[in-house]
Amino acid sequence: MHIFDYVHTFILGFACMQGGSELTVDVHADKVLDCTGLLCPIPVVKTSKAIREIEIGQILEMIATDPGAPPDMEAWVRQTGHQMVAQTADNDQFRFWFRRTK
Amino acid sequence: MVTTMDTALQEVLKPSDPTDRPKRMALVASKGGLDEVYPVLILASTAAAIGWEVGVFCTFYGLDIVNTKRNKKLKVSAVGNAASPPPMKSIEFRVPTILGILPGMNSVATWMMKSWMKKSKIPSFQEMMDLCLESGVNFYACATTLGVMSVKKEDVIPEASCLGATAFLDFAAGADVALFI
């Protein structure tokens, strides 16, 4: 399960570097949170709230345009222990898929 | 048999694993300008969102954050800030510092800051404050400041408790992150 996720993330990350904007991610999201146009700390605060509204094991998709979002969300994953299944960067739009782990 | 008892005893006496508890952040908020309280509220709300325990010690002008008589009217200072912004972003023109002493310049600076914040969808001071309180940030009103600034205890938001430096240091001693803002 976990190894698959890491491989998945790696492949997606690699695909992002190669393909960039053409990439489509095929992850089923149980909930979508749109943080377009919002700046720090609101995306992180909203993501923390939203992850508690899905069941453990479910996926939350988050969309952000804050240029600080990629490092912030990676840190959020490290601090909260939830899992980032995938992320994409399309010009100024970032999309993240998180799995609730606890 | 003895060994078993010792092991059981050791298990009980074992200090709790410090990695079990949530991380803790201790902030000292010492300034009361609108632009100066935002870093406090942003860090506090973010840390609380990722599950940290947060304590904000509001001291001297930082007490304005929890002072209901003053926290609705926080201002940006027009003087004493060499980085004061140009009136229009498109024009490279800095307001001469001396103009900052004109009556009403603080209000102008405050209005400008608020309009930029609104444009970039940053929550207002009160919204940030509510966000912090909802997510469990602890605000501490510095007891000395209450005395020095003649602030009545009933003017401090009910969520804030009144502490001295010793009690705050006791809290901060167990903090993973401690910042003075």
Look at chain B and count its residues.
181
The pLDDT of residue A16 is above 90: no
- Quote the pLDDT of residue B178: 96
The pLDDT of residue A69 is above 80: yes
- Quote the pLDDT of residue B24: 96
Cβ neighbours for A98, distance < 8 A, ≥ 6 positions apart: A47, A51, A59, A60, A61, A62, A73, A77, A82, A83, A84, A85
Chunked mean pLDDT (size 10), chain B, 181 residues: 52 55 94 95 96 96 95 90 68 74 90 91 94 95 91 93 90 94 93
- Nearest residue to B100 via CA among B74, B80, B115, B75: B80
ipTM, two decimals, is: 0.70
- Quote the pLDDT of residue A91: 87
What are the percentages of helix, strand and coil residues in chain A, rounded to 5? 40, 25, 30
Give the range among A36-45, A54-63, B94-103 with minimum mean pLDDT: B94-103
The pLDDT of residue A20 is above 50: no
Confidence label for A26 from pLDDT (cuts 50, 70 and 90):
confident
Mark whether A35 is an active-site residue: no
Nearest residue, CB atoms, A41 vs list B46, B51, B121? B46
The residue from A7, A17, A40, A45 that is catalytic is: A40
- Quote the pLDDT of residue A9: 52
The pLDDT of residue A12 is above 90: no
- Quote the pLDDT of residue B99: 82
Contact map slice: B 60-119 vs A, CB within 8 A: none
Per residue in A76-91, pLDDT (tens digit) is 999 999 999 999 999 8
- Quote the pLDDT of residue B172: 93
- Quote the pLDDT of residue B21: 84
- The H helix count followed by the E strand count for chain B is 6, 5
C-alpha to C-alpha distance for A21 and B165, rounded to whole angstroms? 54
Residues of chain A with C-beta less than 8 angstroms from the C-beta of B121: 37-39, 42
Nearest residue, CB atoms, B46 vs list A38, A44, A49? A44
- The H helix count followed by the E strand count for chain A is 3, 4
Nearest residue, CB atoms, B49 vs list A37, A39, A41? A41
Residues of chain A with C-beta less than 8 angstroms from the C-beta of B27: none
Min Cα distance A99 → chain B (Å) is 15
